[in-house]
């Protein structure tokens, strides 16, 4: 996330980052779908690192896209909506697993473990659709002020 933010700030270009990030994420999901109980930890860790890199290049830049696409009057609302839905999923998942009694939690955690490998494979087409969707994002120049642009024929002095 830090690297993608620095690159976007330095170059002013950001459209390629969610495309690259989601593509890396798709590859990592393919690799994660091949895991077995005998897979060495360093391989699992490298696949997860790749997944994190893909998420890092995509997730925060999509927040930037939202903030750069909406007028200042509603940019806070748009950003809040983006963050709300992202956090909602994380909160519900954590609450379900963390709040259950130990025997139920162990069963659910075991079920997740058994089910995740095929889910990674099923998510690959979803990521490919996401890559296509973000390809249609219209890249706009990054804002340099916190004021909406006023066309030159309507400019006024304060």
pLDDT of residue 25: 93
pLDDT in tens, 18-58: 999 999 999 999 999 888 777 888 998 999 999 999 998 88
Largest CA distance in the chain: 69
pLDDT in tens, 99-150: 677 777 677 766 766 777 888 888 899 889 999 998 998 888 887 766 655 4
Residues sharing a CB contact under 8 Å with residue 49, sequence separation 6 or more, in sequence order: none
- For residue 2, give the nearest of 52, 40, 44 by alpha carbon: 52
Please give the Cα distance from 11 to 118 (Å, whole number): 39
pLDDT range class, residue 77, cuts 50, 70, 90: confident
8 A C-beta contact, residue 10 and residue 51: no
8 A C-beta contact, residue 18 and residue 134: yes
Please give the Cα distance from 12 to 31 (Å, whole number): 32
Q: Alpha-carbon Rg of the chain, whole angstroms?
A: 20
Q: pTM of this prediction?
A: 0.69
The answer to whether residue 157 scores a pLDDT higher than 50 is no
pLDDT of residue 100: 73
The answer to whether residue 156 scores a pLDDT higher than 60 is no
């Amino acid at each position: 996330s830090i690297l993608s933010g620095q690159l976007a700030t330095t170059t002013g270009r950001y459209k390629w980052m969610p495309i690259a990030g989601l593509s890396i994420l798709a590859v990592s999901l393919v690799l994660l779908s091949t895991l077995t109980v005998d897979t060495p930890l360093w391989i699992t860790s490298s696949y997860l690192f790749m997944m994190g890199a893909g998420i890092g290049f995509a997730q925060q830049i999509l927040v930037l896209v939202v903030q750069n696409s909406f007028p200042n009057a509603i940019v806070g609302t748009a950003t809040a909506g983006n963050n709300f839905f992202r956090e909602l999923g994380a909160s519900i998942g954590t609450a379900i697993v963390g709040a259950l009694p130990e025997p139920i939690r162990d069963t659910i955690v075991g079920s997740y473990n058994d089910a995740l490998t095929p889910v990674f494979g099923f998510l690959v087409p979803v990521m490919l659709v996401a890559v296509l969707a973000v390809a249609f994002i219209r890249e706009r120049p990054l804002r340099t002020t916190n004021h909406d642009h006023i066309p030159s024929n309507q400019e006024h002095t304060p």
